[in-house]
Amino acid sequence: MLKDITIGQYFPGDTIVHKLDPRVKILITFVFIISLFFINKFYPYLLVLGFILTVIKLSKVPFKYVFKGLKPLRFIIIITFFINAFMTKGVELFSIGPLTVSEEGLYQAIFMALRLIFLIMGTSLLTLTTSPISLTDGIEKLLNPLKIIGLPAHELAMMMTIALRFIPTLLEETDKIMKAQMARGADFESGNILNRAKNLVPLLVPLFVNSFRRADELAMAMEARCYRGGEHRTRLNEIKMDKIDFIVITIMTIFFGILISTRYI
């Protein structure tokens, strides 16, 4: 299951989506998340599905790769589905023991499950099509106006990107430690919740040790290269918006405007 997590991973490419200004992609993702919470009907989800499929097609990221990111969160999606199905009151459809499923509950359960699925797929496309360096520069540029109130824009952007970048590394490290401990007789699956929690100790201790070691090595490497960041920092490739970025912004503004307006139509 750890190998199925795609958050923080970058899929290299030379497509129009990869070449877009990172600020544009970050803003589109942000507005996409907001627009999902404005939707209160089923038919706008067809527009969302079309948008996601179009981005996947243009970015040439394998659909299986995007869909794989849903597997680690399938339990959250299933729990959300059942909570909404059993807890929403309305016209009863059928009952399972003391629990009843209403027509409104089933509608709400499917609706919320779809929202979660589209939210995960849409946001994962940001990291899949944007390199960590571009993501850092984009976040920093967007946070620059907040420097007037003392916000350390560069440091904050760097921390967010490093955290995102190290998610796949830590997952790979976890998988290796888990296999090594299982080879020594460790059991992470059997027993009750308390026993499973105790069995995680031989996994968590070396994982934390390795995490701190990696953080220390990264800090030393950055200092050895005289990295200071912040003011007067130069970049090999300065990000700048091209004509295609403005075209995409215009199209996305119209699209999200239509999507949000469906709530009031």
User: Is there a domain that residue 119 lies in?
Assistant: yes
Q: What pTM was computed for the model?
A: 0.76
The reported pLDDT for the residue numbered 234 is 66
Token code pair at residue 78:
């299933």
C-alpha span between 19 and 242 (Å, rounded): 10
- Classify 99 as helix, strand or coil: strand
The reported pLDDT for the residue numbered 253 is 93
Q: Which residues contact 170 (CB under 8 A, 6 or more apart)?
A: 207, 211
β-partners of residue 100 are: 95
User: Is there a domain that residue 123 lies in?
Assistant: yes
Q: Which residues contact 224 (CB under 8 A, 6 or more apart)?
A: none
Identity of the amino acid at 123: T
Q: State how far the alpha carbon of 238 is from the alpha carbons of 24, 49, 133, 263, in Å.
A: 15, 33, 11, 39
Q: Which residues of the chain carry a pLDDT beneath 50? A: 1-2
In tens, the pLDDT along 19-60 reads: 898 899 999 999 999 999 998 888 899 999 999 999 999 998
What total of structural domains would you count in the chain?
1
Which residue range forms the structural domain that includes residue 79?
Answer: 1-130+237-265
User: Is there a domain that residue 146 lies in?
Assistant: no
User: Is there a domain that residue 13 lies in?
Assistant: yes
Rounded (10°) CA dihedral 7, 8, 9, 15: 100
User: Is there a domain that residue 143 lies in?
Assistant: no
The reported pLDDT for the residue numbered 35 is 92
The reported pLDDT for the residue numbered 107 is 86
Find tokens 């790979």 and name the residue. 172
User: Is there a domain that residue 135 lies in?
Assistant: no
C-alpha span between 76 and 74 (Å, rounded): 5
Phi, psi of 175 (to 5 degrees): -65, -40
The reported pLDDT for the residue numbered 193 is 67
User: Is there a domain that residue 34 lies in?
Assistant: yes
User: Is there a domain that residue 231 lies in?
Assistant: no
